[in-house]
Structure 1
Amino acid sequence: PPLIALLSGGTSAGKEEAAAALAALSFDDDNEVTIVKVGGLVPLIALLESGTPTAKREAAVTIKHLAINNENKVAIAQQAGALDTLIALLSSGTPDAKEEAAGALRNLSVKDQNRAAIMAAGAPAPLIELLGSGTPGAKEKAAAALKKLAINAQNQIAIAKAGGLPPLIALLSGGTPVAIEEAAGALANLSFDDDNEIAIAQASGLAPLIALLGTGTRVAKEMAAATIKHLAINDENKVGITAAGGLQPLISLLATGSPLAIEEAAGALANLSINDDNEEAIAKAGGLPPLIALLSNGTQAAREEAAAALRNLSINQENKVSIVELGGLPPLIALLDSGTPHAREEAAGTLANLAVNDDNEVAIVKAGGLPPLIALLGSNIRQANDEAAAALKNLALLDDNKAAIAQAGGLAPLVALLDSGSADAKIEAEAALKTLSRSADVKQQLHQLGWVPAP
């Protein structure tokens, strides 16, 4: 209390000393709580507005530390004048004070409910200005604040409209390692917006993001790969990322990156592979072996992304052959049993594509693919039902497989799917049954099950 009283009633020098003392004390977790409980916020906020330059800086340091505490995040944002004075300091303070104010806003923006208030109080413009004109530390903290604010969908649009993309992209090449990480993280969040997917590429964001995949810190690689994954949803960017040399560093990251970087790189390749030319280019760049390896040794998310990439790549005729030759069948079939629901769906979809090949129709059955595919027909994973039925439909084109599917117990669940499946599953199941019924023996078994071909 005496220190807090000095913030209001002391001389200018006394206020500076009291604010500096509180800044030092606020490093302690317990003191973060105590300073707020004993009424420290109101005089600290007043000092941000009316204190000497030194006092403003020390008050901003203190508030930055106090805002680490979750309860304080709410209390500070709700305190009258707190956000306005912090945001004003971004423009009017000394270089050090601007950095501390940006750090306080970064900490406050961790709380979801604070983000709208910070945006409404006008934070984007001065934070964006700091990306170019601030101290190295201010650039780091401003980028971190924008990264947090960009978690909210509405803010993604507002930050881009305020001119945030070019300076964030510039920071990817010219910032400190921390600033680069934060800028890449901000772009990763901003790139969730469809318009920003286009705008980031148009603002020359592809080249520095791709460069980070190879030269960045662990976090920078993760964030760059995440951004590229989002950007690759856009059809033009699918072409642009490949043309800018993005495939090779993404593929390299599958083997050398952190678990998160591997997940994001695999996701980027999954999105890029929804393009005819990229289907071929990814395979030629050596993408198939590491993607196949991920099916067995990746995290759950990496397995999902790798299976999704292979599903898209397996549309290509040459890739159908290569995936099998490179040993893709055993891990894909294993994933039908052991994967997450999404991984099972993607693995079944990949096998459905691979089965549109005479040699693969034989290989999938020999590798033990029928039992898990048939089991998926009765699962509660709706889209996996569709893909399993499609795979069996394609496998049934081979005469030997017709009998094998029947012997493996595939007829009854296909018939059942006509009643219980989704619209797509019913279509695939009906087509599979019609193909299977070309065998006289199987046709007789189907009649015993009550199946009559749809007209």
Structure 2
Amino acid sequence: MGKKIKKEAEPPPKDVFDPLTIESKKVATVVLMLNSPEEEILAKACEAIYKFALKGEENKTTLLELGAVEPLTKLLTHEDKIVRRNATMIFGIMASNNDVKKLLRELDVMNSVIAQLAPEEEVVIHEFASLCLANMSAEYTSKVQIFEHGGLEPLIRLLSSPDPDVKKNSIECIYNLVQDFKCRATLPELNAIPPILELFKSEYPIIQLLALKTLGVITNDKESRAMLRDNQGMDHLIKILEAKELNDLHIEALSVIANCLEDMDTMVQIQQTGGLKKLLVFAENSTIPDIQKNAAKAITKAAYEPENRKFFHEQEVEKCLVTLLGSESDGTKIAASQAISVMCENSASKEFFNHQGIPQLVQLLKSDNEEVREAAALALANLTTCNPTNANAAAEADGIDPLVNILSSKRDGAVANAATVLTNMAMQEALRVSIQNHDIMHALIGPLHSANMVVQSKAALTIAATACDAEARTELRNSGGLEPLIELLRSKNDEVRRHASWAVMVCAGDELMAAELCRLGALEILEEINLSVTRKNKFSEVAYNKLLNNHLSLKYSQTGYLSSSNIISDGFYDYGRKRNRNLLLDEILLLAKVPLKKKDPGQVFITQKSW
């Protein structure tokens, strides 16, 4: 047997390149590899870039400057799953950079990213695609792009993903998206409420919190509130409040409840299931200020409905609110005061606060916090309107002095509210005298000069209520209050003009005051107002006539006649019919100040007897 001869190996083909392992420590080189046609190189380059980007914001900026973003966007749709996965992971990390977000919007990659949310894709792709969208959705333009490219539906579907990171990213993105009304209005059609409620069962607090925040936004819409109610959402929320270990979620849960209680059907449901009583007990017993504040806000929102106020009164909500007025937190005091402001629309509640509530509110008028003072004054304004008993209670609690002090506040709302309370009090003569003794006329000068029309209106109304005697009117004149009051007659606002006319009508109660008002131009302005069909009001007409009736010389000159009720005293001066008004007024006022005993040539004095 002959010896075998070893067969020589065939030489490799000349047109085939030998395998080459590339190692690089230069990121620029790796970026260039993103243009390679080879899948293995692309996958490794993406993996290296992912690790590099993960190290910090500076590295993301470096990749942006090296031009890595554009070739990476093309890899999002690569047919190789590994390449596509790695590219998606990079964008999940890179999209937190603002400059990268801007470029991604310009490159219009939303369709490619949203496509990675498809059910057939693996979980890791879902995780980083949803992370990319969550980062992008923080800006309005990106929100619009995600919504318009149909991103909301797959995100809602991913709320049921077994992976907590996917859930977290998806609900965060949805939370950002629903800040926009159009997106929010679409949620009921997509049946989003049930999967969001399921997130309450998550063991991760951040997921539960984002779910509550999302519900807090979408339950501003009636349809979403109805859907939440139909899916027993209120039961879920009450259970969160009852769980002490979930106290970090209580504030957000109360925000959702506050929205839902605006709905009458929800209110009935929570009342029937005992949830309302639990809510009130929770609010009263909690020691966390923000929880107390949000509970009071929930009551406020719900109490705008008359039937809800009735329910709350039956549950003795007033006691809870009075307790909250004593909180150390200014935010809670404000919220409780606002709740009382709304609750006192119910007559029974208004009566309750007469002995419990009004003294505490008066104390809040002295707070160092101007918002607290404003809220307390609002509550007192509503409590004392058309209620003399409560007005007396506020006065007995020494409320007049702090109310007068608030008239100099920098907050227009506080000034308007305080003026309203003082007006309500002044309806009773005893209280009016007490208010006058607190230098009220001088305190009202600032509000009369205000640029805020509500403040102007309330200040003029307070003057109308308090300038009922000669002494008060003299004080107003001496304080310089007549000029700004008359100027308000020119207001384009109907209520300001009406209240200013009312105040002028009251101030024209004696001859000297009427003469002064005429000298300052009140009669001319009122005459002009009364000639206008749209600007005149019943007070402007009465004020005009009252000025003339207390200034008979001027009336006779203006109208040519006096009525049987006009009693003429010695010194009546007939100038003849109306002529130059300014000259006439000056002459009449001069005569009013310096009574003449002798007839001058050419002048006619008519006594009561000769008339």
Q: Do both proteins adopt the same fold according to a TM-score greater than 0.5, normalized to the shorter chain?
A: yes
Query: Residue 39 of structure 2 corresponds to which residue in structure 1?
Result: none
How many residue pairs end up in the alignment? 436
1:237 to 323, 343, 349: 349
1:45 to 156, 160, 173: 156
Question: Of the two, which has the highest radius of gyration?
Answer: 2
| Alpha carbons 1:382, 1:421 under 8 Å: kept | no
Write the distance in 2 (CA, Å) between the matches of 1:128 and 1:185: 17
Query: Residue 17 of structure 2 corresponds to which residue in structure 1?
Result: none
Write the distance in 2 (CA, Å) between the matches of 1:301 and 1:331: 16
1:184 is the counterpart of 2:291: no
| Alpha carbons 2:303, 2:339 under 8 Å: kept | yes
Q: Could you tell me how far 1:39 is from its partner in structure 2?
A: 7.8
Aligned to 1:255, the other structure's residue is in SS state coil
Alignment of 1:304-383 (within 5 A): 304-383=416-495
Write the distance in 2 (CA, Å) between the matches of 1:46 and 1:157: 31
Query: Residue 406 of structure 2 corresponds to which residue in structure 1?
Result: 294
Q: Could you tell me how far 1:237 is from its partner in structure 2?
A: 2.0
Aligned residues: percent identity?
22
Write the distance in 1 (CA, Å) between the matches of 2:138 and 2:518: 72
| Alpha carbons 2:255, 2:298 under 8 Å: kept | yes
1:48-86 Cα offsets, whole Å, 9 max, x none, are 44x55xx4x655533442234246755476366452433
| Alpha carbons 2:216, 2:259 under 8 Å: kept | yes
Q: Could you tell me how far 1:279 is from its partner in structure 2?
A: 1.1
1:246 to 351, 354, 357: 357
**Greater relative contact order (Cα < 8 A, sep 6+):** 1
Q: Could you tell me how far 1:378 is from its partner in structure 2?
A: 2.4
Query: Residue 435 of structure 1 corresponds to which residue in structure 2?
Result: 546
Change (3 A) 1:40 1:420: closer
Aligned to 2:354, the other structure's residue is in SS state helix
2:239 to 118, 133, 141: 133
| Alpha carbons 2:137, 2:177 under 8 Å: kept | no
Query: Residue 446 of structure 1 corresponds to which residue in structure 2?
Result: 555
Of the structure 1 ranges 381-390 and 67-76, higher mean CA displacement relative to structure 2 is found in: 67-76
2:511 to 386, 392, 399: 399
Query: Residue 104 of structure 1 corresponds to which residue in structure 2?
Result: 211
Query: Residue 410 of structure 1 corresponds to which residue in structure 2?
Result: 522
Letter in 1 for 2:423: R
Query: Residue 372 of structure 2 corresponds to which residue in structure 1?
Result: 261
1:78 is the counterpart of 2:168: no
Aligned to 2:198, the other structure's residue is in SS state helix
Of the structure 1 ranges 251-260 and 185-194, higher mean CA displacement relative to structure 2 is found in: 251-260
| Alpha carbons 2:156, 2:192 under 8 Å: kept | no
Query: Residue 89 of structure 1 corresponds to which residue in structure 2?
Result: 198
Letter in 2 for 1:250: L
Write the distance in 1 (CA, Å) between the matches of 2:233 and 2:562: 66
Change (3 A) 1:47 1:77: farther
Of the structure 1 ranges 311-320 and 445-454, higher mean CA displacement relative to structure 2 is found in: 445-454
Query: Residue 120 of structure 1 corresponds to which residue in structure 2?
Result: 226
Compute the TM-score of the two structures, normalised by the length of structure 1: 0.81
Alignment of 1:127-166 (within 5 A): 127-134=233-240, 135-149=246-260, 155-163=262-270, 165-166=276-277
Change (3 A) 1:391 1:40: closer
Change (3 A) 1:221 1:24: farther
Change (3 A) 1:277 1:102: same
Q: Could you tell me how far 1:450 is from its partner in structure 2?
A: 4.2
Letter in 1 for 2:176: N
Write the distance in 2 (CA, Å) between the matches of 1:381 and 1:131: 46
Write the distance in 1 (CA, Å) between the matches of 2:230 and 2:340: 24
Write the distance in 1 (CA, Å) between the matches of 2:308 and 2:480: 45
Cα RMSD (Å): 3.6
Write the distance in 2 (CA, Å) between the matches of 1:361 and 1:72: 55
Aligned to 1:110, the other structure's residue is in SS state helix
Write the distance in 2 (CA, Å) between the matches of 1:120 and 1:393: 53
Of the structure 1 ranges 301-310 and 273-282, higher mean CA displacement relative to structure 2 is found in: 301-310
Q: Could you tell me how far 1:351 is from its partner in structure 2?
A: 0.6
Letter in 2 for 1:413: I
Query: Residue 383 of structure 2 corresponds to which residue in structure 1?
Result: 272
Aligned to 1:402, the other structure's residue is in SS state helix
Change (3 A) 1:96 1:77: farther
Write the distance in 2 (CA, Å) between the matches of 1:157 and 1:246: 27
Aligned to 1:162, the other structure's residue is in SS state helix
Letter in 2 for 1:330: H
Write the distance in 2 (CA, Å) between the matches of 1:431 and 1:36: 64
Letter in 1 for 2:174: A
| Alpha carbons 1:348, 1:388 under 8 Å: kept | yes
| Alpha carbons 1:64, 1:101 under 8 Å: kept | no
Change (3 A) 1:362 1:177: closer
Letter in 1 for 2:552: K
Query: Residue 309 of structure 2 corresponds to which residue in structure 1?
Result: 197
Letter in 2 for 1:163: I
Aligned to 1:211, the other structure's residue is in SS state helix
Change (3 A) 1:85 1:332: same
Of the structure 1 ranges 351-360 and 255-264, higher mean CA displacement relative to structure 2 is found in: 255-264
| Alpha carbons 1:229, 1:269 under 8 Å: kept | yes
Write the distance in 2 (CA, Å) between the matches of 1:193 and 1:119: 16
Q: Could you tell me how far 1:209 is from its partner in structure 2?
A: 1.4
Residue segments in structure 1 that go unaligned for 5+ positions in a row: none
Write the distance in 1 (CA, Å) between the matches of 2:221 and 2:120: 33
Change (3 A) 1:231 1:357: farther
Write the distance in 2 (CA, Å) between the matches of 1:199 and 1:410: 51
Q: Could you tell me how far 1:226 is from its partner in structure 2?
A: 1.2
Write the distance in 1 (CA, Å) between the matches of 2:193 and 2:175: 19
Residue segments in structure 2 that go unaligned for 5+ positions in a row: 1-83, 90-113, 241-245, 565-611
Aligned to 1:286, the other structure's residue is in SS state coil
Letter in 2 for 1:311: T
Change (3 A) 1:408 1:88: closer
Write the distance in 1 (CA, Å) between the matches of 2:255 and 2:554: 65
Letter in 2 for 1:354: T
Write the distance in 1 (CA, Å) between the matches of 2:534 and 2:452: 20
> Comparing both structures, which one devotes a greater share of its residues to helix?
1
